[in-house]
């Protein structure tokens, strides 16, 4: 109708075109770039996030060195080679927790409210947040590996290919956990509560696992928990990759579990995110 009137009356005012927004891929790229620019404009965010795994490496690498002399410790492996794969996985867990906390902060300060007024798919906000935190985690892991090599002589038998494979595995685990923490954040809508839940989840997963001590060296009741702890299997897979040992079953189990958790958590997160604030 409007087109027919315009043809009959060329001088008539044209109705304003309705903006439908960019494609989903462009939305995710723009929102991810927005978050990544924070690391450039405010490098303190990156510096402090890198210091956390470095402190863990320095602290545990010195305090638990004697563990390498116990009967249950793997032969021919130094404690640093034993510890670094675990620190990779726990660092990815910390980055995943930041996904939930950061999302709650965006909800609190009104950023998400502005996104709701735009013609975009709200799920792109969650995807961009997860991609940003994986990118930040990758930087943290690479810096950690460089410092472990320079300061402690970290040199696993698997070489560079094994180390890179372990890094990719840790990032996949972190990606899945990021969706879980974002799903929790979407329903809690409270940054303080999110941090409390995160630490309640992280510390048992870390200390009730084989991260610092071989499972066989733990007390009997804690061995049962460590065997049921999914983090133990991710750390085992990471160690096998770095040590140049066969890791097919453990890697497939970690990747498959991460994929399933990510899909389920993404559905829950997207539904929770759409709830009115």
100 lies in a domain?
yes
Domain count, the chain: 1
Instruction: Report if residue 223 sits inside a domain.
Output: yes
In a domain, 15, yes or no: no
DSSP 19: P
The reply to whether 10 falls in a domain is: no
In angstroms, rounded to a whole number, what is the distance separating the alpha carbons of residues 223 and 216? 7
CA dihedral over 34, 118, 269, 203, signed as positive or negative: positive
Burial class (CB in 10 A: 0-12, 13-18, 19+), 37: exposed
Q: Please report whether residue 6 resides in a domain.
A: no
DSSP character string of 90-125:
HHHHHHHHHHHHHHHHHHHTTHHHHHHTSSS-THHH
Which two three-digit tokens encode residue 63? 């305090």
pLDDT at 164: 93
Let me know if residue 101 belongs to a domain.
yes
Looking at the domain assignment, is residue 42 inside a domain?
yes
**pLDDT band, very low/low/confident/very high, at 130 (cuts 50, 70, 90):** confident
Instruction: Determine which of 37-41, 78-82, 177-181 has the lowest per-residue pLDDT on average.
Output: 37-41
Q: Kindly state the average pLDDT of the residues 55-69.
A: 78
182 inside domain: yes
Range of the domain at 30: 22-274
């Amino acid at each position: 109708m409007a087109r027919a009137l315009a043809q009959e009356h060329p001088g008539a005012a044209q109705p304003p075109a309705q903006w439908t927004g960019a494609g989903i891929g462009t939305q995710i790229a723009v929102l991810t770039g927005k978050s990544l620019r924070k690391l450039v404009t405010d490098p303190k965010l990156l510096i402090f996030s890198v210091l956390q795994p470095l402190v863990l490496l320095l602290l545990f690498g010195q305090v638990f060195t004697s563990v390498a002399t116990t009967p249950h410790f793997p032969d021919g492996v130094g404690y640093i080679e034993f510890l670094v794969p675990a620190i990779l996985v726990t660092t990815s867990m910390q980055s995943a927790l930041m996904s939930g906390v950061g999302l709650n902060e965006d909800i609190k300060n009104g950023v998400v409210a502005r996104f709701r007024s735009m013609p975009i798919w709200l799920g792109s906000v969650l995807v961009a947040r997860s991609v940003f935190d994986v990118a930040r985690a990758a930087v943290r892991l690479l810096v950690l590996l460089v410092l472990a090599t320079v300061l402690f002589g970290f040199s696993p038998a698997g070489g560079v290919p094994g180390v890179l494979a372990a890094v990719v595995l840790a990032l996949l685990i972190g990606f899945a956990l990021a969706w879980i923490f974002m799903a929790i954040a979407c329903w809690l809508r409270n940054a303080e509560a999110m941090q409390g839940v995160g630490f309640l989840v992280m510390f048992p997963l870390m200390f009730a696992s084989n991260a610092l001590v071989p499972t066989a060296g733990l007390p009997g009741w804690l061995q049962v928990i460590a065997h049921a702890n999914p983090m133990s299997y991710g750390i085992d897979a990471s160690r096998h990759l770095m040590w140049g040992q066969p890791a097919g079953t453990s890697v497939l189990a970690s990747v498959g579990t991460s994929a399933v958790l990510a899909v389920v958590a993404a559905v829950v997160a997207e539904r929770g995110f759409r709830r009115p604030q």
